[in-house]
Amino acid sequence: MAEIAGQESPATSAGLWDRFSIRTKRVIWAWGFLALPIVFYVGIRFYPTVQAFWLSFTDWDLLRPATIIGLENYRRLFSDPLFWQVFRNTFTYLIIGTPVSLVLSFIIAFYLDRVRFMHGFIRALYFLPFLTTAAAMAWVWRWFYQPVPIGVINDVLQLFGLPQQPFLRSVDQALPAIMATAIWAGLGFQIIIFMAGLRAIPNTYYEAARIDGLGEWAILRKITLPLLKPTTVFLVVFSSIGFLRIFDQVYNMTTNDPGGPLNSTKPLVLMIFQTAFSSYDMGYAAAQTVVLFTILLVVSLIQLWVLRKRT
Amino acid sequence: MRSRIGLAGLVAGVSFLAMGSAQAVEIEYWQYVFDTRVKAMDQLIEKFEEANPDITVKHVTFPYADYQTRVVAAKVAGQGPDVVQLFYGWLDNFVAGGLIKPLDPAVFPYDKIESEFFPIVSAMKRGDSYYGLPTAVRSLALFYNKQLFQEAGLDPNKPPQTLDELLEAAKATVKRDSGGNMTSAGITIAMEGQDHQWWREVLIRQNGGQPYSDDNKQVTYNDEAGLAALKFITDLQTVHKVGQAGFMDEGQAAFRAGLAAMTIDGTFRLGAFESNPFEWGVTELPANADGLRSNYASYFANAIGATAEGEELEAAQKFLAYISSPEAMQIWLDVVGELPARKEAALTEKNLADPIHGPFLKGLEYAHTTIFVDEMAQRQVAIDMANRVLLQGQDPKDSLAQAAQEEQAILDRFYNK
């Protein structure tokens, strides 16, 4: 029975198919191919996202069935001093991390672009940290920051007769110490992108400028930076999202007291992780996720708007 | 034609399966991955299957970080384990989530449980029911580096027995360089390690206090006793300068590297310390001036999964009885190094005379077990409390009050749910 039906169906569909115009067929084909990623995204991305919004209004704890509690999770979140500290930390990572890493990587890319001697090797050296597992790298840096006798940085400070610094064991120094690691880790990628952008600027512009007698500084300001803008926009958005979602470095450098000391390094993602997977407070964690989602969305939109093409 | 052969195959398969189930019951045992624990359990399963040829036990393990989530997810999917290992502190959540069922008093007489196990087994009791039995328990002790004791002119065979002696030994063994930086600690300070347990169940009690009310719903350490206990730990760094939180990254790392003369840690550290390249010893946690001692004990228990029914339930009960037997406990002690949970199996002359296991076993007799509702969060409260004093110079009294308030909020949220 099934076989007969199977033979019949291509015939009918072929009849129907022939009636379509080429244009319609093309559209059907296109949607046919597009359907796969769309179904994938709906199932793997959009559905859980919508689910997270719903969960954020419940008190689900994995074990008991969820009950709707309205805006209670958000009320709790906004009245939680920890949330505001985590919020400040997250924005410190963003507001200091993004510009510092972009300026550094631009300077390095700008000069590296002119270096011919061992160019590939130096570029590879800068790119290497980007290839390294974040966890492994974080642990190496964690040991760098230790007090004497094992911390390399403090050993060097000692050598010059300087007082040793607490680094990760200080509420003021821990966040910059971790940020330095994160910046260093992302530097290689940004340098490569910047160099690609620099290479894409036609040489004729520079030649023309030099013939007109423009100085290096003027060339940088009037030609290089404006023409590099698409690259810069991409990197600003990309690196901002990276800093807003920072987790690996913080978690691995502070595993004994995650996000510590005294929550001074805790980013939003780590707070979500702990709420969800050590306190099993899924509803509350979902509310935090929704807030993070909103922040990411707003920050990205603002950046795209500020750095939009003025035509 | 083809479908007929397929059908025949299917019938054969089904009947084979049916035959199989008539002959043998398969039950699942779940625990988290920890090399020696997995090895010990494999040995126990082998012995159990030998004695019960009609039962096979499937040993399933998960990484510790995923473990609880897996158990919960399996319950949601209706495919839970028949016998499951759980930390005693997870019991409330496991019971509330309907993941495990109470032990049948007909199979596990409760009066026998109470008379044969160490009293800390009461942490597995809710209402009138016991929900699980431990194979092994862990307690704390003071580890000390005999070599550093000798170098400091102390007798390596006379470790400190009181808190005052502990302080003297720490002062004698701490080393500093010309810049005043610590190069070797007298005693490790690590609230994130076991010091928070030492503070909660040992030092507070030794100062005449009690960490929580008897029903566990109220924080009761915000008093003189709690303050004295906190100050004992923070003074080690701020006043006596014999230790430094974060020195060598972790307390146990400092001790392993031979850069700390003393550290407070648990039985579970024995495996890691075994290969220490120096002679070390273990002694009971120091007593207070009146000779009062206390200890903190914890354990992983085994419980029967909520989905076990019929002959699987029967097999699961048999298996649980076996892995809580004195024989199993001895194997667990030999392989894992954790202490037997039954008095009879633990307090043998041989075990008590053991220089390593002896002090831990003595600690069990007067040990307390904290009923945590969210272990990580409650530990964090203690870590932050010490850090406010050590890093921000806050008055210990204020820091203690803040900690009590934060922890009370955690308890309230749990018990008011």
Minimum CA–CA partner of B250 in chain A? A256
Q: Would you list which residues of chain A are within 8 Å, Cβ to Cβ, of chain B?
A: 62-64, 142-143, 146-150, 158, 163-164, 166, 168-171, 256-257, 260-263, 274, 277-280
H-helix or E-strand spanning residue B137: strand B133-138
Q: Quick check: do B25-139+298-368 and B140-296+373-415 share a fold?
A: yes
Contact B387 A170 (CB under 8 A): no
A35-44: average pLDDT: 90
B178-217 tens-digit pLDDT = 888 899 999 999 999 999 999 999 999 999 999 999 988 9
pLDDT for A305: 87
Count of residues making up chain B: 417
For residues A293 and A301, give the distance between their C-alpha atoms in angstroms, rounded to a whole number. Answer: 12
For residues A57 and A68, give the distance between their C-alpha atoms in angstroms, rounded to a whole number. Answer: 6
Biggest CA–CA distance in chain A, Å, is 91
Contact B97 A143 (CB under 8 A): no
Burial of B40 (0-12, 13-18, 19+ CB in 10 A): buried
Contact B384 A262 (CB under 8 A): yes
In chain B, % of residues over pLDDT 90: 71
Domain boundaries, chain B: 25-139+298-368, 140-296+373-415
Closest partner CB to B192 (pick from A164, A257, A263): A257
> Which amino acid appears at position A51 of this protein?
Q
H-helix or E-strand spanning residue B130: strand B129-130
Report DSSP state, residue B334: H
B268-317 tens-digit pLDDT = 888 788 888 999 999 999 999 999 999 999 999 999 999 888 899 999 99
Structure tokens belonging to residue A20: 């379509």
- DSSP-based three-state secondary structure for A289: helix
Residue A266: closest CA among A254, A276, A278: A254
Burial of A106 (0-12, 13-18, 19+ CB in 10 A): buried
Residue B323: closest CA among B94, B37, B105, B123: B37
pLDDT for B211: 96
Contact B376 A279 (CB under 8 A): yes
Which residues of chain B make contact with A142, given a CB cutoff of 8 A? Answer: 249
Question: Confidence class of residue A265 from pLDDT cuts 50, 70 and 90?
Answer: very high
CATH fold label, B140-296+373-415: D-Maltodextrin-Binding Protein; domain 2 (3.40.190)
Q: What is the DSSP string of B75-123?
A: HHTT---SEEEEEGGGHHHHHHTT-EEPPPTTTS-HHHHHHHB-GGGGG
Return the number of other C-beta atoms located less than 10 Å from residue B284's C-beta: 20
B21-77 tens-digit pLDDT = 446 799 999 999 988 889 999 999 999 999 999 999 999 999 887 888 888 888 878
> Which amino acid appears at position B101 of this protein?
K
Closest partner CB to A62 (pick from B72, B192, B250): B72
| Cβ of residue B409 closer than 8 Å to a chain A Cβ | no
Question: Confidence class of residue A103 from pLDDT cuts 50, 70 and 90?
Answer: very high
Q: Do β-strands B25-32 and B175-176 pair in parallel, antiparallel, or remain unpaired? A: unpaired
- DSSP-based three-state secondary structure for A164: coil
Domain B25-139+298-368: CATH superfamily, name plus number:
Periplasmic binding protein-like II (3.40.190.10)
pLDDT for B414: 86
pLDDT above 90 for B9: no
Minimum CA–CA partner of A154 in chain B? B181
Q: A232-237 long-range contacts, Cβ below 8 Å, gap at least 24? A: A232/A102, A232/A197, A232/A307, A233/A303, A233/A304, A233/A307, A234/A193, A235/A102, A235/A105, A235/A190, A235/A193, A235/A194, A236/A98, A236/A102, A236/A303, A236/A307, A237/A300, A237/A303, A237/A304
For residues B49 and B183, give the distance between their C-alpha atoms in angstroms, rounded to a whole number. Answer: 54
pLDDT above 60 for A301: yes
ipTM, two decimals: 0.81
Contact B392 A262 (CB under 8 A): yes
* Whole-prediction pTM: 0.84
Provide CB contacts within 8 A for A265, sequence distance 6+. A89, A174, A175, A178, A250, A253, A254, A259
| In the block, residue with structure tokens 């007593």 | B287
Helices (H), chain A: 2-19, 22-41, 47-55, 72-78, 81-112, 119-131, 134-144, 152-159, 174-199, 203-211, 216-219, 225-227, 229-244, 248-253, 268-277, 282-306
Contact B248 A260 (CB under 8 A): no
H-helix or E-strand spanning residue B28: strand B25-32
For residues A217 and B178, give the distance between their C-alpha atoms in angstroms, rounded to a whole number. Answer: 50
What angle, 0 to 180 degrees and rounded to 10, lies between the N-to-C axes of helices A268-277 and A282-306?
Answer: 160
| In the block, residue with structure tokens 């390249």 | B277
Closest partner CB to A279 (pick from B246, B377, B387): B377
| Cβ of residue B183 closer than 8 Å to a chain A Cβ | yes
Domain boundaries, chain A: 2-55, 79-306
Task: Identify any residues that bridge with B262 across adjacent strands, giving them in sequence order.
Answer: B144, B187
Question: Confidence class of residue A310 from pLDDT cuts 50, 70 and 90?
Answer: low
What angle, 0 to 180 degrees and rounded to 10, lies between the N-to-C axes of helices B326-335 and B35-51?
Answer: 150
Phi, psi values for residue B117, rounded to 5°: -95, 165
CATH class of A79-306: mainly alpha
CB distance B208 to B226 below 8 Å: no
CB distance A180 to A101 below 8 Å: no
Minimum CA–CA partner of B253 in chain A? A150
Task: Identify any residues that bridge with B133 across adjacent strands, giving them in sequence order.
Answer: B302
| Cβ of residue B405 closer than 8 Å to a chain A Cβ | no
B223-232 tens-digit pLDDT = 999 999 999 9
Could you write out the three-class secondary structure of A72-94? HHHHHHHCCHHHHHHHHHHHHHH
Structure tokens belonging to residue A234: 């991409």
CB distance B295 to B367 below 8 Å: yes
| In the block, residue with structure tokens 């007067």 | B366
